[in-house]
Amino acid sequence: MRANPSKVSVLPEQPAGERQLPSLRYQIGQVAFIVLFDPPPGCARVRTVDTDAMWGDSNYDVEFSDWRQVGELKLPFAYTYTLAGRRTSEMRLDEVRVNVLSRQGCSMCRRMRAARSRRCP
């Protein structure tokens, strides 16, 4: 969203359970993501609309929570998925490792790419 601010628009507050949350729309081609912000507990949700022939259009949400510091990043360790307001699945992470390439790793990647390009016509 930061890289494409022209694709972001402010929406009216969106329902999430029994509350209304501030939200934005992020339009990428024909796909629209609605991001809901829940500031006090430090949660965020991403919403898409699932079109189903039997059930019709339904909100499909993923809620991020249990934010923890991992190196210089703050990442969610819990994900809750809901469809039309009903919980469909939940995922919790015990550990997250950030893989940072060293200078040696970067030069190795460049050498591998160069070697591959020499083999391909």
Q: Summarize pLDDT for 7-36 with one digit per residue, the tens.
A: 999 999 998 878 888 899 999 888 888 888
Q: How far out from the chain centre does Cα 115 lie?
A: 35
Could you tell me the pTM of the whole model?
Answer: 0.66
DSSP of 8-67, one letter per residue?
Answer: EEEEEEEEETTEEEEEEEEEETTEEEEEEEETTTTEEEEEEEEEETTTEEEEEEEEEEEE
Structure tokens at 101: 């390439």
71: left (phi over 0), alpha (psi -120 to 50) or beta: left
- pLDDT value at residue 121: 43
Q: Domain spans of the chain?
A: 5-119
